[in-house]
Amino acid sequence: MFYTVLNGRLKLQDIQPRSPEDGLWLAASIPNLPANTEVLDAACGNGLVGLALLTHQPHLRLTMLDINPTLTAQAEANTQLNNLQATITTANLLEWQTTQKFPHILCNPPFYNTQTHTPAQTETKQQTKHLSPTEFQQWLTKLISLLTPQGKLHLILHPGLLPTAQAFAQSKNYHLQTTPTKTPKRLLLQLTKT
């Protein structure tokens, strides 16, 4: 199945299409970056976030990473379909061994809490949709370790992850600003490594 976004400028194939709005919000939140800036799209899925960013900023050098080989195959196909360039890797983020550091990392992580939601019926869906608070904190720690000094981590999160994000921020002496009177639909976070 194919669908288009960004007024038809980006065409994507996906076996199980879902609303692209979270990924598009995340890509749109990235400021204009200098030419050849290295960007990592972690948990890239079918490539929506990274490819939407490349559509806006084709001068970037994109690496996409996902644990699921079916999804990285889709990301590869979508990259070719749109005549874009990216390096695509299949690996478990927490076990990924690389010496490369990135000044910008994008991530739209799995958002269902395994402790409060019924687990997905298949391992593939479990990998792409469910993350416990402990696993989420491990992801944040790993993602921060992949940043260059002064690098930025850009996340879009389901509000169910807000308590875990706040606990993580507090443990690292980060300040997480939210609107106290409104429950957000999604959270766009940017963490700068210092």
9 and 55 in contact (C-beta within 8 Å)?
A: yes
Query: What are the two backbone dihedrals, phi and then psi, of residue 144, each rounded to the nearest 5 degrees?
Result: -65, -35
What mean pLDDT is predicted for residues 93-109?
95
- Which tokens in the block code for residue 137? 């904190």
How many CB atoms are closer than 10 A to CB 161?
21
Cα separation, 10 vs 8, in Å, equals: 6
Contacts of 125 (CB under 8 A, 6+ apart): none
Q: Which of 88, 69, 101, 75 is nearest to 23 (CA)?
A: 75
Nearest residue to 168 via CA among 194, 188, 139: 139
Does the pLDDT of residue 67 top 50, yes or no? yes
Top mean-pLDDT range of 1-10, 142-151, 156-165:
142-151
Does position 114 have pLDDT exceeding 80, yes or no? no
What is the structure's pLDDT at 132?
81
Q: Is the pLDDT of residue 120 over 70?
A: no
Given a cut of 80, is residue 184 above it in pLDDT? no
pLDDT for res 2: 86
How high does pLDDT run on average in the chain? 85
The domain segmentation of the chain, as residue ranges, is 2-192
From first CA to last CA, the distance across the chain in angstroms is 43
Predicted confidence at residue 175, as pLDDT, reads 65
pLDDT-derived band at 177, boundaries 50, 70, 90: low
What's the pLDDT at 70? 92
Query: What is the mean pLDDT of the segment spanning 112-127?
Result: 44
Token output for 114: 């395994």
2-192 belongs to which homologous superfamily? Vaccinia Virus protein VP39 (3.40.50.150)
Q: Of the ranges 12-16, 52-56, 156-160, 172-176, which one carries the lowest mean pLDDT score? A: 172-176
Q: Which pLDDT belongs to residue 25? A: 93
List the single range of 28-37, 95-104, 160-169, 176-185 with lowest mean pLDDT.
176-185
pLDDT at residue 127 greater than cutoff 60: no
Is 135 within 8 Å of 89 (Cβ atoms)? no
Which candidate, 49, 57, 58, 54, places its Cα nearest to that of 24? Answer: 49
HEC sequence for 53-119: HHHHCCCCEEEEEECCHHHHHHHHHHHHHCCCCCEEEECCHHHCCCCCCEEEEEECCCCECCCCCCC
Top pLDDT among 117 and 131 is at 131
Would you place residue 166 in the very low, low, confident or very high pLDDT band (cuts 50, 70, 90)? confident
Task: Tell me the chain's radius of gyration from C-alpha atoms.
Answer: 16
CA distance 96 to 142: 9
Specify which residues 154 forms β-bridges with: 106, 190
